Structures are given as C-alpha cells and as structure tokens.
Structure 1
C-alpha cells in the first residue's frame, strides 16, 4: 500500500527528519510520491463543485457517489466496493474483520510500508517468504508456506514495494486456488504497470484488491482509497467503518478524479518514460545495478551500502530510501521517479559518486 504520512520509514538509517528541517531545495525521491501536481482543470472542477455544496452538513454515511463511480470504472457492482481513508485504513479494517484469535499474514520479503504497524494493532503475526535473487515473487514457496502454515491471509503488492515487480495472472490464480485464506493484492502503483487483477474479484470471493488515489492521481493530501472484494466481505468491512468517516471534500475530490481520469494519463506516461530513462542511465554507470521496475520507483544496488549512499546523496540535497535494513538489500536504495529536472540532479549526483 502507499506509504501513509503516519507510517513513514526513516529516509535513511542515519537521519530522522525534524519538523521544518527539510527545505524546499531538497529533492525528495524517498516517498514514492507523484512529483506532479494535480492538473489545473481537475483542481478548478473540484473547487467549482465544492462551492455548490452546503458546508454545514455532515458527510454522507457512505460516499455513494464515489462508490457508484468506482463500480462503473472497475466494471463491477457497487456491493464489491469499499471506500476508506486511504488503503492503510482499509487494510486495518480488513484485518479486524478477518482476525479471530491468532492470525498469520504471509508476505514476500523484502516489503516496505506500514503493514508491520497495522499487524501489531490487531495482534497478527507477519511471516516473510524471501523473494528470488532477482527480486521476483517466489510463487511456489508462497503457496507451499500458505498451505503448511494454514495462514489466514497473504498480502502482495503488484507492483511490489520496494522491488517494483508484478505478479503474473496465472501465478495469482495458483495462489488463490492454493492458499486457504484471503489473498490481498495491493495495487497502489498499478497505473504505472498498466496491469490490474480487478476483473478477478467477481470470480474469486477470497480476493481483495487495494487501491489508492494518492500516487498516480496525486491526491495524497486528501487521504482516500478503496478496495474491491466479494459483496459479503465488503459488507462486513463497511459495518466496521464509522459512518461519515470520509469527508465531503475528500469524496468530492475522488468523484472529480474518476470523472476526469483521462486528464492524469499524460502524467502517468511521463513518469513511466522517466522511469525507463533513469533505469537506462543507471545501467551505464560503473558499480551501479538498477532493478527493472513496473512502478514509479526502483531498487538500485551499488558497490556502497545503502546507508553510505543515502548519506552521500543527502549531502547533495537528495533524499532516497535506505533499504540496508533488509538482509538481502544491504547495498541497496529505493529511489522514486521524480520530475525530469529532479531525475537529472539525481543522475548527476550518482555519476559524480561512482565516477571514481
């Protein structure tokens, strides 16, 4: 799931931000954020519609306008859709519904995000399954471990954070047919991969798709996300959610983003193009081994430790995410794809660091 502001990992092992510490001149490539602002036409439409609403009224118990639009967008019934305050809240509600005594969650390792904090809140244990050396899903091990441990839930990202890999549909179907529990696919970054498993929700009642408006659609400040699943599970999750928990303005922004979804296409394609440009440039550098990605970020392995490289980049006013806390990624960072000029600064800094 997309990183929430309350569950962010430190920028590096040597630095924790203090309020007001990061200046506007720092290039932030550490949070998988969209570097582009929401298109002007969408902002104008949000403000136009907002002016017509009565601000003194409480939000709807359930944002029906958003639910109906999402159902049409994903070609499913409204009873398959749950809208919440970001994908992190939705995952917490899902775990609360599923948890009945000791619960085990199977995840690929390495994994980045707020899952460990959410699992602690519901007294669930996380069981990691190492990815392959090429940082791809080890589907046979995921399946065998799910069966052997009788896990209640398997959670994967597609694209996965931090590796950027995607799962093949045939592998997901195998996992669904093998695992005894719920299978959650976090699609927070699916727009950059042009690949989704949403059509499978109607066929597989134990499948849950998590989505966010925060990344490709640039609405991170509005805190809104949704999930797609079976009507029964959707109903149980909705019953756990406090009525009116989605603010009127967040719901309105989501409605406009869906209605004008085509306006985001140019930004998404620009980020995909920049991802490929950054990857190609890094591949040409000595001592640098970027990992192919389908997301708006990538893992970069180097001859330095992740901590060392984070510090060297920070000295050049560039923030990236240190992955050295993961045993298989001690020499790696995760870098988000920024705007072209930001990527140019990052590539120039990397060239300077590794040219010697």
Structure 2
C-alpha cells in the first residue's frame, strides 16, 4: 500500500511533548500544588451524583457562560468556553487564519501559538523580547504591517519569564495594528492585571483565561475566551458541539461559587513566590514574577539537571532558543520550595 504523507505544514512540525512526570515533586507545569479545598470537593462529589451523565452536555455551555459573564461583567454572547484555553487558540486560528497569514508572538513564550499557526498553514514570526524581557512593540508593529499578519499573541504575565509586559507597549500595539490581538491571561489570578476592560474599545482584542492554574483544575481541561460577539460567532462555527463535558461545567460553576475558598491557596503561593525570589536573586539572574513560577538563569545546566533529577524534582529547563540555559520553577508547597532552594544554593 502506498504511504500517504501528511500535508506539508504538518510534516515539518515536531509534536509538543510535555514530559511524563517521574519523581517526588512536580514543579514543571505551573499547577496549583494545593488542589481544590477538601470541603469543596466533598460538596462537588455529593452533588455530582445527580448529573445526567447518560445525556450529552449542554452545547455551548450556556449556564457556565452566563456565570462567567456575571463574573467578568460582559454579555454571555461575548464568551466561548473551550476544552482548555489552547483549544480556543486552535478554534480562533481555524476560524481566521488563511494560508500564508502571519502569526506573531514574542519569544520565549507559549510554544502552542507558533505550533498551531504553522499547522494551519500560517507563517510564524517570532519576535525576541528585549534585554529586560519586555515586548519590542516597535518591532511587532513593523513586522505586523509587513507580513499580512492575522494574529499577535501576548501572554500576560508571560510564560516562561513570569513578568507582565509594559501596559503602554501593549496598548501601542493595539492602537497601531489591524491584526487580531490575543492576550493570554492564564495567570491573571496571580497578577491581578488584565486588559478585559478594553474589549469594547478594541474590537480586535481577545482575552483567554483558564481554570487550570489558580482554580486547580488542570486535570479537567477548561478555559474560556472573551471577545466581540462577531469573533465569538465565528469561533462557534468551528467549535465542536459538545466540546465541554458535563462534569467539568458543573465543577467550574461550583468553584466560582466558592471562589473565596480558592483564594487562600493563591495568597500562600504569592507569599512563597516572594520568599523564593528573594533567596534566588541573591545568587542567580532571575526575573521578578507576576505568576506562580520563577524564571532563572542556571550556572551549569548539565549539573542542575542531574541535581534536580537525583532529588526527584521535576522543573522546566530550556536548552534551545533565547531561553537556553534558563529554568522555570513552579512555586510549590513550602517543603517543595525548600528542597528547590537547597539545590540552588549549591550554585548549579
């Protein structure tokens, strides 16, 4: 039988490969180490028995969108819910990206922007951050005008560097480009900084968020986007009809009703983050973080890899591109953070 190759844009790609966790402490994926409060889990389990799991879930998650609309102070028609916010990135590009269209994102940043863009036939245009790990807004605006750019992706706070880019530079991009600008606010709850109030002013602005980080729901895969009704309508044309399962929708609704309980873990994580950064910055080059992780330059990546693996601690190390020689470490529980600092104090 003749071998059938994939389309050329797929053949050239390498799959995104999250590492399989093997060890004692998992500090490589920016998850909330505390999980959902025990009392909330008990409440959820008690109510979950009443769900009609033999029936398909409500298409489009109308009740969840209504609840999110109240929380965000936008109309539910301005919200689309996805199986993780990265599914929404896929739907956005499926709805709008033509072959050869430019997809701009700063580097280092979330790799899926470029991977999805290239898979759908777009032209990925990486723009290096400046020496202070901030956006080069002038370069982004110039490249956007020259390359038939359809999308500009900005993570805020940025992953993996952890900092929030200059608000003025992002607004400059919004004012001077006609591309769709997606601001990925996956770590919003840790920074408290958002561009959501600007949705009405900029019809090309899209905000994405997730329940995976602050809400401790990474295993449920649930995210959402807020945008103009027109953009949401176009995304819904390519969205699978039952993309969100009933259990995920139910748990998200309950979590938002009990958001005050969730906030306790965020306060602990932010305090631990500041304590860790104070120690790390005295011995390493590190970036002040607005998220739930710390980005630092290692002295010896090979030595660091061996030390962390031997101790059963999984962190995200970068070996290629502008982040080569750097590491991203999730802020964990106090005992986990102490173990990390113990290794770092060896000067790895």
The TM-score normalised by the length of structure 1 is 0.89
CA distance in 2, matches of 1:83, 1:352: 45
Q: Deviations over 1:228-263 (max 9, x none)?
A: 000000011112112122110011011111221121
**Does residue 1:295 correspond to 2:297, yes or no?**
no
Query: Offset at 1:135?
Result: 1.3
CA contact (8 A) 2:135 2:166 kept: no
Shift of 1:101: 2.6
- Please, which of 87, 97, 102 is the counterpart of residue 99 of structure 1? 97
Q: Tell me if the contact between 1:8 and 1:113 (Cα under 8 Å) persists in the aligned partners.
A: no
Other structure's SS at 2:345 match: helix
Cα distance in structure 1, aligned partners of 2:201 and 2:41: 37
Give the match for residue 106 of structure 2.
108
Is 1:343 the counterpart of 2:337? The answer is: yes
* 2:182 equivalent in structure 1: 184
Instruction: State the match for 2:155 in structure 1.
Output: 157
Q: Which residue of structure 2 aligns with residue 14 of structure 1?
A: none
Gaps of 5+ in 2: 1-14
Q: Is the CA contact (8 Å cut-off) linking 1:320 and 1:336 kept in structure 2? A: yes
Q: How many residues align?
A: 334
Residues 138 and 265 of structure 1, relative CA distance in 2, 3 Å threshold: same
- Judge which range, 145-154 or 210-219, deviates more: 145-154
Aligned with 2:346: secondary structure? helix
Query: 2:177 and 2:47 mapped to 1: Cα distance?
Result: 45
Go from structure 1 to structure 2 and tell me whether the alpha carbon gap of 1:7 and 1:249 turns closer, same or farther (over 3 Å shift): farther
Q: How far apart are 1:113 and its partner, in Å?
A: 3.4
Does 2:22 correspond to 1:22? yes
Aligned to 1:200: 198
1:19-76 deviations in Å (ceiling 9; x for gaps): xx714xx211111111111112321232233122222211111211100000010011
Rounded to whole Å, the distance in 2 between the matches of 1:344 and 1:8 is 28
1:332 aligns with 2:326: yes
Superposed displacement of residue 166, structure 1: 1.0
Report the RMSD for the aligned CA atoms in angstroms: 1.7
Deviation per CA, 1:146-169, whole angstroms, max 9, x where unpaired?
A: 223231110010001111121333
From 51, 75, 78, give the equivalent of 1:77: 75
Give, in whole Å, the separation in 2 of the partners of 1:161 and 1:32: 10
Q: Which residue is 1:234 aligned to? A: 232
Alignment partner, residue 143 of structure 1: 141
2:186–2:213 Cα contact (<8 Å) kept: yes
Equivalent in the alignment of 1:55: 53
Does 2:248 align with 1:250? yes
Question: 3-state SS of the aligned residue for 1:310?
Answer: helix
- State the alpha-carbon separation in 1 of the partners of residues 291 and 56 from structure 2: 37
1:8, distance to aligned residue in structure 2 (A): 4.1
TM-superposed deviation, 1:9: 4.0
CA drift at 1:205:
1.0
The answer on whether the counterparts of 1:131 and 1:137 sit within 8 Å (CA) in structure 2 is yes
Give the superposition deviation at 1:125. Answer: 2.0
Deviations 1:322-352 (A, max 9, x none): 12212x3332111111111100000011113
Deviation at 1:353, TM superposition (A): 4.1
Q: Residues 134 and 311 (structure 1 numbering): CA distance in 2 closer, same or farther, change over 3 Å?
A: farther
Select the residue among 276, 281, 284 that pairs with 2:282.
284
The unaligned stretches of length 5 or more in structure 1 are 1-5, 11-16
Offset at residue 313 of structure 1 (A): 1.6
Measure how far apart 1:202 and its partner are: 2.1
Name the SS for the 1:94 alignment partner.
helix
